[in-house]
Amino acid sequence: MAEEPKKTWQWVTVDDYEKPAVPTVIKVKKWWGKFIRWITPEQEQESEDDQSSALELSFDDAADALEQCFSEWLEDDEDNSLRWIIAPPHSGVEEAVKKWAEKHSLREMNLPDREPLCDPGDSTLPEFLSKSDDNKPWIMPQLAHGFLRQTNGLRWVREFFSTVLSGEAGKGVIVCDSWAWAFLEKVWPVPVSQLWTLQGLDQPALEELGLARGDGRLRALAALSRGNAGVAAAYSDRYQRSSEKPFETPSMPSEINDATAFVCYALLLHRGLNKGQLVKVLPIISGSQLEIQLQVLHQRGLIELEQELWYVTARGYPVVRELLASRGFWLDRF
Amino acid sequence: METGSVDDVTGLFKSLDGFAIFEIAVIFAFALAIVWLTQRVLPWVASHLHGKRRLYTLALVPMIRILVLVVALVMIMPRIIEPTLQNMVATLGAAGLAIGFALKDYVSSLIAGVVAIHEMPYRPGDWIEVDGSYGEVTHIGMRTVELVTNDDTVIWVPHLKLWDNLIHNANNGGPSLMCIAEFYTQPEADAYQIRDALEEVALTSPYLQLGKPIAVTAAEQPWGTKYRLKAYPIDPRQQFQFITDMTARGKKRLMELDVRFAKIESDEAYELKH
């Protein structure tokens, strides 16, 4: 019997997640590029960050795939278990789950305001779900927005784990950023089952989505994006899908210090922060130094400001991840 | 008899013609060039790396140097001395006598340097304490080890210290180095509340190596309770900043919890009060 062809959008448990293989040629090219950057004096230049020709992805098919995956569990009234969905930055997981949740009108769990979350005087924590007799399944849209890595900032998320894992909150789906999850596994080290994510996009999947053409281009895009749909889309070019030209990634500032890495890590860990929250999370860095780091990273196209929150950009994500890996930070699994 | 002895000694050495001297000079220069290059290139490469990769790269410097020097010596010796057993014994005996009297400490340091490379009580990148001096090993020379303290003072410690001194190595060739922030409170404070608060302080520090454990210990003292918050930074070079961060935020958190800190009054102040 012929093997069933692999689907482009496939939901898998986190343990079954596979990153596309990185060919040795690409690894060597990467090391060589780094070496050249070391020995040649870097010219300070602002990021071009031209994404006008990048393709936009629709995650409708991913939402449909989730429907097939979770329909049995959702319809089973006896089954009160939880489903955890881990969302790497820009991977499209959040968008797909949101579409699926809207279709089923799941109750959205309340997230606390981040500002008073760290206030030591404020002992009351917001309730997770509005008082209602409705026993419909609920969804936590982004657990990474429920905490700040600050002395008082983990109270709500601890309460959350305690409530939902005890079964008090009933049946629900929790979406959590992959970086936040890596950290929260240390905060609440109770192993959970049913941890899901979108399978990494390999070369055939990237080709099917029209993000690149030709073996060389596909291999390079798969390696650069590590199978992350949003990153692959950000580097796609509708006019040069078969081009053999190497991908131009934003470069890190020439003067990198602990503050640069801390800012990048904090933005990934919290899935976006505003300046005030960054000050709370990184009190060891002075306000002016934080401002400088934000401006420098922004100029390089590594971070962007969206609705008052700073985020790591899709094009900057591979570069930032590599920086954090080289400096020994605690990384996500993807 | 005398003539025979002189002949014996001169017979040890080969007659060095111009070509042999040229060969020795080339070997010597080549060995020095390799050592010089590795001592500059590898630390430069290491300065761009972090964690284990940085430490392993730095550790290559003394290894390569000793290898190159041994190879050079093996290549030079047969060009100077007729390599027979009798000649080697006579040469080494004479050298041993000279060293024993005149250059004992110097040679002892050199030998300790070789032992240090083999036993690795310290490697470049390690944080060690010798004779009360604490700093990062930045260079392992033939005779001395170079430490740089937190105050940016360079200390050269002879390898000789290895024979009869305690060497405290805080990270022992790895990227994990335990840091301890200490807090002193009055004895009435709730120890478990303080433990939980301090653990939270370490967990939320941006310097924390998340894969390593956090621990808080308490010990009763005559003037109050001493708490020690133990955790690991991501990079050993961040240790002082990490302790500063834990201390600053730990104090703030304990003050929020209305914990009163222990204070020891000076004798003068005590006498004034009573």
Q: Is A38 on the interface with B (CB under 8 A)?
A: yes
Contact A174, A166 (CB under 8 A): no
Kindly tell me if the per-residue pLDDT of A47 is higher than 60.
Answer: no
Contact A119, A149 (CB under 8 A): no
Contact A120, A149 (CB under 8 A): no
Q: What is the mean pLDDT of residues A60-75?
A: 92
Selected residue of B204, B210, B237 to mutate for chain A interface (largest A Cβ count, 10 A): B204
Contacting residues of A for B234, CB less than 8 Å apart: 327-329
Q: CA of B187 to nearest chain A CA: how many angstroms apart? A: 23
Nearest to A328 among B51, B241, B245 (CB): B51
CA dist list (Å): B20 to B24, B82, B91:
6, 13, 19
Q: CA of A67 to nearest chain B CA: how many angstroms apart? A: 36
* Beta bridge partner(s), residue A273: A310
Is A154–B203 a contact, with Cβ atoms under 8 angstroms apart? yes
Contact A190, A154 (CB under 8 A): no
pLDDT at B1: 42
CA dist list (Å): B205 to A176, B152, B194, B232:
21, 25, 17, 10
Q: CA of B210 to nearest chain A CA: how many angstroms apart? A: 6
Q: CA of A262 to nearest chain B CA: how many angstroms apart? A: 7
Kindly tell me if the per-residue pLDDT of B84 is higher than 90.
Answer: no
pLDDT at A111: 87
Chain A CA closest to residue B254 = A151
Chain A CA closest to residue B176 = A328
| pLDDT band at B251; cut points 50, 70, 90 | very high
| pLDDT band at A285; cut points 50, 70, 90 | very high
Name the more confident of A126 and B220: B220
SS3 B213: coil
Residues 6+ away with beta carbon under 8 Å from B250: B181, B183, B197, B198, B201, B229
Q: What is the dihedral of CA B238, B243, B246, B252, to 10 degrees?
A: -130
Interface of B with A (CB under 8 A): 48-51, 175, 197, 200-201, 203-204, 206-207, 209-211, 234-235, 238, 241, 244-245, 248-249, 252-253, 256
The fraction of chain A above a pLDDT of 70, given in percent, is 87
Tokens 């131009």 sit on residue: A248
Question: What are φ and ψ of residue B141, in 5° steps?
Answer: -90, -175
Contacting residues of A for B248, CB less than 8 Å apart: 283-284
Q: Are strands A138-140 and A107-108 parallel, antiparallel or unpaired?
A: parallel
CA dist list (Å): A253 to A247, A294, A300:
18, 11, 7
In this structure, of A123-132, A208-217, B160-169, B256-265, the range with the lowest mean pLDDT score is A123-132
Chain A CA closest to residue B211 = A330
SS3 B96: helix
Tell me: the pLDDT tens digits for B100-144?
777 777 777 777 777 777 778 888 889 999 988 999 998 888 888
Could you say which residues from 101 to 120 on chain A have a Cβ atom under 8 Å away from some Cβ of chain B? 120
Q: Is A326 on the interface with B (CB under 8 A)?
A: yes
Q: What is the mean pLDDT of residues B224-253?
A: 95
By CB atoms closer than 10 A (0-12, 13-18, 19+), residue B10 is exposed
Question: What are φ and ψ of residue A332, in 5° steps?
Answer: -80, 175
Tell me: the pLDDT tens digits for A310-323?
999 999 999 999 99
Is A187–B203 a contact, with Cβ atoms under 8 angstroms apart? yes
pLDDT at A62: 93
pLDDT at B214: 97
Mean pLDDT, chain A, rounded, equals 87
Question: What are φ and ψ of residue A140, in 5° steps?
Answer: -95, 110
Q: How far apart are CA B158 and CA B156, in angstroms?
A: 7
Selected residue of B196, B210, B241, B242 to mutate for chain A interface (largest A Cβ count, 10 A): B210
Q: Which one, of B114, B104, B159, B155, lies nearest residue B133 by Cα? A: B155
Give the 3-state secondary structure of A26-77. HHHHHHHHHHHHHHCCCCCCCCCCCCCCCCCCCCHHHHHHHHHHHHHHHHCC
| pLDDT band at A300; cut points 50, 70, 90 | very high
Nearest to B200 among A151, A183, A186 (CB): A151
Tell me: the pLDDT tens digits for A236-272?
876 666 667 778 889 888 888 999 999 999 999 999 9
Kindly tell me if the per-residue pLDDT of B223 is higher than 90.
Answer: no
Is A151–B252 a contact, with Cβ atoms under 8 angstroms apart? yes
Q: CA of B228 to nearest chain A CA: how many angstroms apart? A: 17
Selected residue of A38, A119, A151 to mutate for chain B interface (largest B Cβ count, 10 A): A151
| Structural domains in chain B plus CATH codes | 2-102 (no CATH), 127-169 (2.30.30), 179-256 (3.30.70.100)
Q: What is the dihedral of CA B235, B238, B242, B245, to 10 degrees?
A: -130
Q: What is the mean pLDDT of residues A113-122?
A: 77
Q: Which one, of A177, A179, A183, A148, lies nearest residue A84 by Cα? A: A177
pLDDT at B269: 65
Q: CA of A159 to nearest chain B CA: how many angstroms apart? A: 15
pLDDT at A133: 53
Could you say which residues from 252 to 271 on chain A have a Cβ atom under 8 Å away from some Cβ of chain B? 258, 262, 265-266
pLDDT at B74: 85
Alpha helices (runs of H) in chain B, residue ranges in sequence order = 2-12, 18-47, 51-80, 85-102, 104-119, 161-164, 191-203, 239-256, 267-273
In this structure, of A149-158, B80-89, B239-248, the range with the lowest mean pLDDT score is B80-89
Tell me: the pLDDT tens digits for B22-45?
888 999 899 999 988 988 888 888
Q: How far apart are CA B92 and CA B85, in angstroms?
A: 11
Kindly tell me if the per-residue pLDDT of A168 is higher than 60.
Answer: yes
Tell me: the pLDDT tens digits for B172-186?
888 889 999 999 999
Contact A12, A199 (CB under 8 A): yes
Selected residue of A284, A286, A323, A333 to mutate for chain B interface (largest B Cβ count, 10 A): A284
Is A151–B235 a contact, with Cβ atoms under 8 angstroms apart? no
pLDDT at A324: 95
Q: Which one, of A178, A236, A177, A198, lies nearest residue A9 by Cα? A: A198
Nearest to A154 among B49, B200, B252 (CB): B200
Q: Is A189 on the interface with B (CB under 8 A)?
A: no
Contacting residues of A for B241, CB less than 8 Å apart: 258, 284
pLDDT at A1: 45
Chain B CA closest to residue A329 = B234
Chain B CA closest to residue A331 = B210
